[in-house]
Amino acid sequence: MSVAKPNPHDSGLAHVSGVARYTDDMPMADPVHLAFGLSTVAHAKLTSVNLDVVRAADGVIDVLIAADLPAENDVSPSAHDEPMLATGKVHFVGQPIFLVVATTHRAARMAAQLGQIKYEKLPALLTIDDAMAADSKFEDAMTFQNGDADGAMTSSDNQIEGSMEVGGQEHFYLESQAASAQPNEGDVLVHSSTQHPTEIQHKVAEALGVPMNAVRVEIRRMGGGFGGKESQGNSLAVACAVIAMRLNRPAKMRYDRDDDMIITGKRHDFRINYRVGFDNSGRLQSVLFEQFAKCGWAMDLSLPVADRAMLHADNAYYLPNVRILSHRLKTNTVSNTAYRGFGGPQGVIGIERVMDHIAYTLGIDPLEVRRINYYGEGRDQTPYHMTIEDNVMPEITDELVIASDYVERRAEIAAFNAQSPILKRGIALTPIKFGISFTLTHLNQAGALVHVYSDGSIHLNHGGTEMGQGLFTKVAQVAAQVFGVGLDMVKITATDTAKVPNTSATAASSGADLNGMACKAACETLRERLSNFAAQLWQTTPDKISFTGGMVNSNGNSMTFAELAAAAYGARVQLSATGFYKTPKIKWDRFAGKGRPFLYFSYGAAVTEVVIDTLTGENRILRADILHDVGRSLNPALDIGQIEGAYVQAAGWLTTEELVWDDKGRHLTHAPSTYKIPACSDRPKEFNVKLWERGENVEDTIYKSKAVGEPPFNLGISAFMALSDAVAACGDAYPDMDTPATAERVLKAVDMEKGITW
Amino acid sequence: MGQIRFLLNGVDVILDDPNPTETLLDYLRENRKLTGTKEGCNEGDCGACTVSVAALEGGRLIHRALNACILFLPQIHGKSIRTVEGISAPDGRLHPVQTAMVKFHGSQCGFCTPGFIMSMYTAHRDGRQDFDDVLAGNLCRCTGYAPIIRAAETASKQPQPDWLTDEAERLQAMAGGDITLDGAFLPVTLDSFADWYVENPDATIIGGATDLGLWVTKLMRNLLPTVFIHRLQDLQTIEITEDGIRIGAGVTVARVRGAMVDRHADFAEMLRRYGSVQVRNSATIGGNIANGSPIGDTPPPLIALGTTLTLRRGSKRREVLLEDFFVAYGKQNRQAGEFVESLFIPNQPDTLACYKISKRFDQDISALCGAFNITVENGMVTTACIAFGGMAATPKRSAKVEAALVGQPWTEASVNTACDAFAEDFTPLSDVRGSSDYRLRTAKNLLRRYFHESTNPLTETRIVGRGVA
């Protein structure tokens, strides 16, 4: 079996020896280097753009403004509302206004600072409140509802309400955005660090005014993506292509880290208001959510992000009477974009806050409130009218409660807190049920291209991109599995729009589900041809031919896979095939808020224990226990890596990763010196991550596996809830902290418990 | 015209008049096409550009992990640079840290990996196993670090590969005397530096470049002319006298930490969290003082210990109390052509506590850093020296709080009364690291923490560190 093995990442050796090439590492003959000159104000008319000093700067070859562009000036993935270079107005601090072409990267950066821009300032909407007051929205508020929320609220036994601010998150992929372009006989070859090569191809073709077949985009690997390279690389690729064609010379561009953090979109910050009715056992009777998503200045992917937040407002819980209202707010801030979870975690954290709030109100263990509200028999319809058919949340919870010693530890923590005046501990278990499929149904398709050469070696290509998640390894395992050969027979190749066309972004955790199935289809087509040929050769039927251990066998006949490939070639059997897959069953009407947006759900749960310092608010994760369902794992090592990494990334989102803007709309945390992602010692010292052994996808997915990229990100929410639990040990009030729970927020919450305000 | 020499992955390199502020990272990637070393942040915070630099010191070869993105070419003269491409065997066998990283799935996207490999390689040479500290300067966004630690622990049990040779003799031959480059002076004697600087008072003095590096990579400034002081042996001495300890301004923070372990353990523990291994290996104590930053972490404890600076101009020296050196934001008590030569910490009982408060424990700039040095005799406070960074435009003593404590009984009531005086001493700013209110509230609470620690030593008061474990 090739699948289900813990094979190391296919590029592991290349990574550790420094030979793995990323976009900026590609050898290139005498390229020019590009940099953007940026807006310094949040909203203004451009009254004068004087670039004389820029043109005269050392090393500058060319300087372009919007009017110099050859065709479309748009890098939006959605609404054609995102000019690459500003036209007349600027809409956020950091918006590119002009493009510098220079002999070196440094010369381009130096010159990009020298633009003499005059602005006529316009009122800037910088916050959720600003946007609501101005009714500045990308579309009308959306509503999902099921049951009679208002009636049930009125008749409910208990009611609570609250509000929380949920902070955004910088992706901080270690490789900043990068692209290059080479002219090629009137066409262009683009290398882009992108999760979405087809979109790069599409935007470059538009920008050059050429058909898509004149543009080829290739990407072997990214140095991290996390959603931040789904649309945010468009500007760099388009800029490089435009310049490469304009000067007939290779062009390359990478954002310096600070520019990257100023220009590119982030996880959407949200406000979540809730009003909840529940009975005396803590069971929900009515839930009203109002979600406010700060989308920034351009639409980008904000609508489906906000949709997914609504679609995860239930998380693992049955909301019998529910109404979810969602506002998609347009502000003069960076255009927020996809980020691992795609709005889901913001939806989930809302209902998790509700669970805790109910528990503290009733004085019972939050775990009991969670359990009593889980989906179950007769309680299986979501707020969007989909029936849950694969619920394994109670089983996972039961197993994790035992494996993590949750009950004993809760008692130990209470005892510790009783005798520790300064340090206090907290614990929480939170679950995740995460919906798998793109909510834009047509994106749920994928293609693959597989060649078998006459020596039996296999060339694999598909539409998915490798950003570190191990997708290429998993898909290669699928190919090796179908042909019964070793992984070493399969050559993994760069994603290339010239090999597999019209691909979807590698996003929504769908990479292995979609591309694995497409690869399997291609390989099965080839195996069928080879089986038919072998059956002729051996005077038997194709169903008697088996492929295993590098051999092809039938009733005592046997040859190597390589020998069969050579013989098949000699007999003029076609040894190249494409494969295609489209996800079945899904159907979704986003305006009605009804349908089946997801093929299935991924489940998991985490228990986190934390400690806080009640004098300073400093805090730390002590231990995390995770049980997660990946169905039948395609590769347990890679899956555990995804879970560990996602948890720590989410814990960072909710603790130390604080994005700060000033009242002029300037981003102040635009470097790792001020924006703090988790460091080595921030990982849980005791970190027990297990795949749920009984996991098996009830749907017909690739070898019964489940998607893994985004779902476990939500498990980091347990760290935030554990911090709330620790704060609650300092007094009687419910600590309604906003996120991220920085030391300052924790101290403020502790002092609130003690009745001290500042 | 001058030249610098160094070894790059074992090969002799001579550069004629390099640009003095070209970074090693740009040189490696752009000139040598050694693209294994990555640019992650270009400011010394992520470690993706980590290289291992060996230097001869006192006849011994010392290996250090350094950030190539903020290391200027003149700083590597006479040293041996190893990049990720240069640690496997000539026949291709991998170094044990490389093998372990593959085996334990320590790379996902792989972009941070070369930096981790070089930090792990350097630790492996030194036999260091405190991996949380060794790797605090390497950020990974994919793995959550657990598999990397597993790899590091496993590799640490493997012997040094036999293909690693001692390059001491080759480096010895490169040392040489003063070097003058176009735009840079690299003296080897303190006297020649002192004289030169009097003549060239507008030159930029570059020690470790962990701060000045960003002036080039981020502020895009021109630092020329420059003078590089890393070759001044006389500036790098630590001298123990009868009365105290004298530390040369060119001593790295890593070495200061070592010198403080037995004297002021809490200072050493705070320095464990100062920058990262890569930063501490390069940053100098003199630089941290002379740049006058209000948030430098060494001035508060040094002030609380009554440290004196020796300033030198030409052959003239004068002494000034460190607390008097900081005049105002961006302004120090330093004349043109004058430089910080050394600092002196008087002997005293160790009653110092250092509290560094930051968003992230490791490798973060402090929101505030408090140093408390309070002596109590017979239940009464006899002396109090309390200094803070992050609370004012300069590192500053809390004179009013000290006054409120001295002569009072060492009780919770006295502490609470004294806390009210913080608002008289400080009106801190709000910024990305913390609000004014948070800083003031926490400063008071740190005095309470000190009180708890001195009166209830068994109470747990800190999430990380309490002295050096």
Smallest CA–CA distance from A642 into chain B, residue: B143
The alpha carbon of residue A478 and the mean position of all alpha carbons in its chain are separated, in whole angstroms, by: 23
**Chain B residues with beta carbon closer than 8 angstroms to that of A641:** 105, 108, 142-143, 147
Examine the pLDDT at A701 and tell me if it is beyond 90.
Answer: yes
In chain B, what percentage of residues exceed pLDDT 70? 99
Q: Provide the pLDDT for residue B1.
A: 81
Give me the residues of A, 523-552, that contact B with CB < 8 A: none
Note the pLDDT tens digit of each residue in B292-311: 999 999 999 999 999 999 99
Size of interface A-B (CB pairs under 8 A): 270
* Identical topology for domains B88-155 and B236-455: no
- Residue B394 near residue B294 (C-beta atoms within 8 A): yes
Q: Is A169 near chain B, with CB under 8 Å?
A: no
Cα–Cα distance, B237 to A113 (Å, whole number): 42
Burial class of residue A555 (count of CB atoms within 10 Å of its CB; 0-12, 13-18, 19+): exposed
Q: Provide the pLDDT for residue A138.
A: 98
Q: Provide the pLDDT for residue A206.
A: 98
Note the pLDDT tens digit of each residue in A185-196: 999 999 999 999
Backbone angles phi, psi at B46, to 5 degrees: -115, -20
B109/A223 Cβ within 8 A: yes
**Residue count (chain B):** 469
B109/A221 Cβ within 8 A: yes
CATH superfamily of B88-155: [2Fe-2S]-binding domain (1.10.150.120)
Rounded (to 5) percent helix, strand, coil in chain B: 35, 25, 45
Examine the pLDDT at A602 and tell me if it is beyond 60.
Answer: yes
Burial class of residue A165 (count of CB atoms within 10 Å of its CB; 0-12, 13-18, 19+): middle
Examine the pLDDT at B468 and tell me if it is beyond 60.
Answer: no
Q: Provide the pLDDT for residue B58.
A: 85
B359/A743 Cβ within 8 A: yes
Q: Is B36 near chain A, with CB under 8 Å?
A: yes
Note the pLDDT tens digit of each residue in A641-694: 999 999 999 999 999 999 999 999 999 999 999 999 999 999 999 999 999 999
Q: Encoding tokens for residue A266?
A: 């982030």
- Residue A278 near residue A157 (C-beta atoms within 8 A): yes
Burial class of residue B54 (count of CB atoms within 10 Å of its CB; 0-12, 13-18, 19+): buried
**Chain A residues with beta carbon closer than 8 angstroms to that of B365:** 673-674
Cα–Cα distance, A423 to A726 (Å, whole number): 9
Q: Provide the pLDDT for residue A387.
A: 98
The closest alpha carbon to A635, from A487, A506, A523, A432, belongs to A487
Which of B99, B147, B442 has the CB atom closest to A641's CB atom? B147
Q: Is B145 near chain A, with CB under 8 Å?
A: yes
In chain B, what percentage of residues exceed pLDDT 90? 97
Count of C-beta atoms within a 10 Å radius of residue A757: 8
Which listed residue (A206, A657, A710, A753) is catalytic?
A710
Mean pLDDT to the nearest integer, A378-390: 97
Note the pLDDT tens digit of each residue in A452-492: 999 999 999 999 999 999 999 999 999 999 999 999 999 99
Q: Which of A5, A11, A16 to mutate to test the interface with B (most CBs of B within 10 A)?
A: A16
Smallest CA–CA distance from A758 into chain B, residue: B437
Smallest CA–CA distance from B445 into chain A, residue: A615
CA B181, B184, B186, B190 torsion: positive or negative?
Answer: positive
Q: Provide the pLDDT for residue B312.
A: 98
Note the pLDDT tens digit of each residue in B8-52: 999 999 999 999 999 999 999 999 999 999 999 999 999 999 999
Q: Provide the pLDDT for residue B467.
A: 44
B461/A420 Cβ within 8 A: no
Give me the residues of A, 248-277, that contact B with CB < 8 A: 254, 256-258
Active site residue A644: no
Cα–Cα distance, A385 to A402 (Å, whole number): 33
Examine the pLDDT at A210 and tell me if it is beyond 70.
Answer: yes
Amino acid at position A719, single letter: A
ipTM entry: 0.97
Q: Provide the pLDDT for residue B175.
A: 86
Smallest CA–CA distance from B89 into chain A, residue: A17
Give me the residues of B, 95-124, that contact A with CB < 8 A: 97-99, 101-103, 105-114, 117
Cα–Cα distance, B362 to B45 (Å, whole number): 11
Backbone angles phi, psi at B43, to 5 degrees: -150, 15
Q: Got the DSSP string for B274-288?
A: SS-HHHHTT-BHHHH
The closest alpha carbon to B398, from B437, B433, B429, B370, belongs to B370
Cα–Cα distance, B278 to B287 (Å, whole number): 16
Q: Encoding tokens for residue A596?
A: 């089946």
Q: What's chain A's Rg over C-alpha atoms?
A: 27
Looking only at Cα atoms, what is the longest distance across chain A? 88
Note the pLDDT tens digit of each residue in A52-105: 999 999 999 999 999 999 999 999 999 999 999 999 999 999 999 999 999 999
Average model confidence (pLDDT) across chain A: 98
Give me the residues of B, 199-238, that contact A with CB < 8 A: 218, 220
Q: Is A615 near chain B, with CB under 8 Å?
A: yes
**Chain B residues with beta carbon closer than 8 angstroms to that of A660:** 432
The closest alpha carbon to B145, from A745, A474, A621, A264, belongs to A621
Smallest CA–CA distance from A24 into chain B, residue: B35
**Chain B residues with beta carbon closer than 8 angstroms to that of A14:** 110
CA distance B284 to chain A (A): 19
Cα–Cα distance, B236 to A277 (Å, whole number): 69
Cα–Cα distance, A192 to A207 (Å, whole number): 16
A113/B109 Cβ within 8 A: no
Provide the pairing of β-strand B326-328 with B184-186: unpaired
Mean pLDDT to the nearest integer, A170-175: 98
Q: Is B364 near chain A, with CB under 8 Å?
A: yes
* CATH placement of domain B236-455: 3.30.390.50
In chain A, what percentage of residues exceed pLDDT 70? 100
Examine the pLDDT at B469 and tell me if it is beyond 50.
Answer: no
**Cβ-proximal residues to B158 (8 Å cutoff; 6+ apart), any chain:** B96, B100, B124
Taking the domains of chain B in order of start, what are their residue ranges? 3-85+165-233, 88-155, 236-455
Q: Provide the pLDDT for residue B465.
A: 85
A586-593: list long-range contacts, CB under 8 Å, 24+ apart.
A586/A437, A586/A441, A586/A444, A587/A441, A588/A439, A588/A441, A590/A142, A590/A307, A590/A439, A591/A142, A593/A142, A593/A143, A593/A144, A593/A145, A593/A310, A593/A383, A593/A384, A593/A385
Q: Provide the pLDDT for residue A744.
A: 98
Note the pLDDT tens digit of each residue in B58-116: 889 999 999 999 999 999 999 999 999 999 999 999 999 999 999 999 999 999 999 99
Q: What is the dihedral of CA B278, B281, B283, B285, to 10 degrees?
A: 140
Name the β-bridge partners of A191. A180, A218
Residue B464 is inside which H or E element, if any? none
Smallest CA–CA distance from B42 into chain A, residue: A257
- Residue B366 near residue B357 (C-beta atoms within 8 A): yes
A615/B446 Cβ within 8 A: yes
Cα–Cα distance, B173 to B5 (Å, whole number): 10
Give me the residues of A, 633-662, that contact B with CB < 8 A: 637-638, 640-641, 644-649, 656, 658, 660
Topology of the domain covering B3-85+165-233: Ubiquitin-like (UB roll) (3.10.20)
